[in-house]
Amino acid sequence: MTSDLESFIAGLPKAELHVHHVGSASPRVVAELAARHEGSTPVPADPERLAEFFTFRDFAHFIEVYVSVLNLIRDPEDLWQLFYGVGRDLAAQNARYVELTVTPYTHLINGFAPEQFCEIIEDARARVLRDHGLTFRWIFDIPGELGIPAAESTLRIALDQRPEGLIGFGLGGPEVGVPRKQFAPYFDAARAEGLHSLPHAGETTGPETVWEALRELKAERVGHGIGSAGDPALLEHLAENRIALEVCPTSNVCTRAVASLEEHPLPELVKAGVLVTVNSDDPPMFGTSLNKEYAVAAQLLGLDRAGIADLAGNAVRASFMDEAGKRTLLSEIAEYARL
């Protein structure tokens, strides 16, 4: 990619729809937390060793490492710094609006009270908007591998606390051995209270998991969804109904969901007319960033400046930003692309 296109991407106003709060902790923050908790964590306190620590054998190993980092968040200051740092880092890449996937259950079992957790993240959200002009919205997701207790707790904190920034209800974690259908009652209850259905599906499994998310969880957008490739009926359904996929190319390679970037199904999805957005997932863990993911997508799809701007527009259109906010950000993107 030319330096001209890289500069264009760096300055492009963007929305980010698929990024996890713990997985976005910068190496500096992770190393500092590991040093504070040295002796009780496998996470190295040396930033240079983190690159090796973040080399994943497979998706199961990724989950193991992710949980190790999660367990470094032990007090209110840790939590606040994590959320504020994610906002600061994304704003530095010209992200203007972010739907951040948050897994409250894992913090509740680590000792945070529901009210305390929501108060901390809402304070960080307000400070990020004030200091950096970035709007955060929350997607509270169920860690699927922890089953029904996690689903019940996630729904309860979402509906009982209902923090101002909350817009969606999600489902993450491993897909193999974790049927989507068992979580349907919890998604039904969340949707009845006005939350959007935004589960992961088709990250490490095939189209059947995406179909299950659509039919059982009434998914309005699908996290990853790359397993949709190869099923013409599913691709047609997604395209006709404008159900967006939140694609994270580098993540898929790092977790071994895809063998290489050259084999990534992103071009097939786009060719089928599916509304695709580009996102960073767990950027420091995968040695990437939102800007780098746009560069990767541009190479895979052969995009010029106009094509890259259109891709940024997809994320705005697929977001759950209010209509006035969408118009404003789309206008900013169009104006920037004309410069």
Task: Give the tens place of pLDDT for each residue, 152-209.
Answer: 999 999 999 999 999 999 999 999 999 999 999 999 999 999 999 999 999 999 999 9
Question: What would the pLDDT profile of 65-86 be if each residue is shown by its tens digit?
Answer: 888 888 888 889 989 988 998 9
Strand partners, 55: none
Q: Provide the CATH topology of domain 3-338.
A: TIM Barrel (3.20.20)
Share of the chain above pLDDT 70, in %: 100
> Has residue 16 got a pLDDT over 80?
yes
Q: Are strands 166-172 and 244-247 parallel, antiparallel or unpaired?
A: unpaired
d(CA 330, CA 281) in angstroms, rounded, equals 23
Question: What would the pLDDT profile of 269-320 be if each residue is shown by its tens digit?
Answer: 999 999 999 999 989 888 899 999 999 999 999 999 999 999 999 999 999 9
- For residue 99, give the H/E element and its range: strand 95-102
pTM of the model: 0.93
Residue 14: phi and psi, rounded to 5, are: -140, 160
Ramachandran bin of 94, using left for φ above 0, alpha for ψ from -120 to 50, beta for the remaining angles: left
Burial of residue 307 (CB within 10 Å: 0-12, 13-18, 19+) is middle
**Residue 169: what pLDDT?**
98
d(CA 278, CA 311) in angstroms, rounded, equals 7
Which residue in 151, 148, 192 sits closest to 170, CA to CA? Answer: 151
Residue 203 appears among annotated catalytic residues = yes
> Has residue 121 got a pLDDT over 90?
yes
**Residue 289: what pLDDT?**
95
Q: Are strands 221-224 and 166-172 parallel, antiparallel or unpaired?
A: unpaired
Residue in 16, 175, 203, 246 annotated catalytic = 203
Residue 162: phi and psi, rounded to 5, are: 40, 65
- For residue 25, give the H/E element and its range: none
User: In this structure, are residues 120 and 76 in contact, taking their beta carbons and an 8 Å threshold?
Assistant: yes
User: In this structure, are residues 182 and 189 in contact, taking their beta carbons and an 8 Å threshold?
Assistant: no
Residue 325: phi and psi, rounded to 5, are: -65, -40
